[in-house]
Amino acid sequence: MDRIYEIRDPVHGFIKINEWEREIVNHPVFQRLRRIRQLGLTDMVYPGAMHTRFEHSLGMMHVATRMYEEIVQRRSDFLESELKFNSAGLGRDKTLVRISCLLHDIGHCPFSHSGEGLMPSLPNEKDPYKHENYSAAVVRYLLKDVIENHPLNQNYRIKANEVADFLEGKSSLGRSLLWRDLLSGQIDADRADYLLRDSHHIGVEYGKYDLNRLLVTLTVAIDPETESPTLAVEEGGMHAAEGLILARYMMFTQVYFQHTRRAYDVHLALSMKELLAEEQRKKDPRERGFFPPPTDSKNIRKYLGWTDWRVWGILNEGGGGDHGKIIEERRHHRKVFETREVPEESDFEFLEAIWSKIGNGGAFIDKSESVWYKSGPGDIPIVRSDGEFTSLSKFSNVVRNLKAISQTRIYVPYEKRNEALSIVESLKKGA
């Protein structure tokens, strides 16, 4: 009989895993996530933000499983009669979803999103690789044995390549692609977990929403425009969906885009860029940033060697250049001006006037371009009580009127703050 293990979690209570999942969790590349902070250097502002990608990955798997089980329980007739699923196929897909969600962040770089700007560009493209590409590479080349050869996989015969394709959203998944919105969508298990988890550890209320109500109103339906099955929310869960969108909005404005936290993101990225340059001058001077995902395990092993612990160790020894020293001494650049969250043209004109006066000597500009809800193909489908198929942006006044945040800030070195503030004040008086 398969033994079940329980992991106590501060957000969800107990998270259950089986022998197969436990072996994956015990693998060194998964244990590495204990050394990757969920929120970078957010603890410089919120001291409780010390949680890691390790517990988030477990939490996301747990939430995705609850979402999957609710949908299957409530819509089993539809799944079997209309989409031709059977109990064996649904059992296999549940396992595929659990393993994929467990491993979705396995390829995160040090300090999570703070270092993503250092990822190389895709071959022949301007867009950079994302952590999902690294996660897929880790699965394909380093976790193949633990995924494919465990005794509990005998009935499912899930391949590592399937898990990697699930992470990257490839069409090769066929019918199972239906479930990918549980991993990456506007109402996915990823943000469903991290909003609650970040709020818990930081000590704020902004990220809280009604998860239980959302769970029991998830469904699957046929989109009349594409004639394809899609995950949706019943009309009775519309306000719970609104709550999750608003929680994400509030967490961004109050936490993720908090001005001091953002300054440390910049310092951290620039110090890691210096560390990587030093490392690669010893090896291949043509390499830039992190190593690209490989066609074998060589590059991915080098990439996984970088963790928060390694970066901190080098910074403590005086590495990382000027920005490493800034982090060590906590003398981060200071904000001297910011526009409104939804700026007008006059805001940018004034910002340009300030920048023309002080835009040198280490100052930098930080800008947010966050669209909180994507209408069109990414819109959350809503199934109304009369059976009509619509979307959240059409049905919800709250979401429809939620504007993108385009706030822009100017930062200057610690020792130049008073001088810069004097310039700002003089320009205000002259305006």
| One-letter-per-residue 3-state SS of 374-405 | CCHHHCCEEECCCCCEEEHHHHCHHHHCCCCE
> Cα(109)–Cα(311) distance, rounded to whole angstroms?
11
Using only the alpha carbons of the chain, give its radius of gyration.
23
Helices (H), 127-210: 131-142, 144-148, 160-168, 189-202
In a domain, 331, yes or no: no
Domain at 213, CATH number: 1.10.3210.10
> Cα(6)–Cα(346) distance, rounded to whole angstroms?
56
In a domain, 59, yes or no: yes
- In the 8-state DSSP scheme, what is residue 256? I
> Cα(178)–Cα(32) distance, rounded to whole angstroms?
30
Long-range pairs for 36-39 at CB < 8 Å and ≥24 separation?
Answer: 36/105, 36/108, 36/109, 36/110, 36/111, 36/112, 36/307, 36/308, 37/111, 37/112, 37/308, 38/112, 38/194, 38/197, 38/198, 38/201, 39/112, 39/198, 39/256
In a domain, 92, yes or no: yes
* Termini Cα distance of the chain: 76
> Cα(85)–Cα(92) distance, rounded to whole angstroms?
11
Strand partners, 381: 391
Per-residue pLDDT of the chain (431 residues; tens, 9 = 90+): 589 999 999 999 999 999 999 999 999 999 999 999 999 999 999 999 999 999 999 999 999 999 999 999 999 999 999 999 999 999 999 999 999 999 999 999 999 888 877 887 777 777 778 888 899 999 999 999 999 999 999 999 999 999 999 999 988 888 899 999 999 888 899 999 999 999 999 999 999 999 999 999 999 999 888 888 999 999 999 999 999 999 999 999 999 999 999 999 999 999 998 888 877 665 554 455 677 776 667 888 888 999 999 999 999 999 999 999 999 999 999 999 999 998 999 999 999 999 999 988 899 999 987 655 565 666 889 999 998 999 898 889 988 888 888 899 999 999 999 999 999 999 998 76
In a domain, 197, yes or no: yes
pTM of the model as a whole? 0.93
Please provide residue 5's backbone torsions phi and psi, each rounded to the nearest 5 degrees.
-110, 145
In a domain, 133, yes or no: no
CA 73 to chain centre: 28
In a domain, 362, yes or no: no
137 CB contacts (<8 Å, ≥6 apart)? Answer: 107, 164, 293, 294, 300
In a domain, 236, yes or no: yes
In a domain, 430, yes or no: no
Please provide residue 37's backbone torsions phi and psi, each rounded to the nearest 5 degrees.
-65, 145
> Cα(107)–Cα(391) distance, rounded to whole angstroms?
33
Q: How many distinct structural domains can be found in the chain?
A: 1
Domain containing residue 202:
4-106+143-257
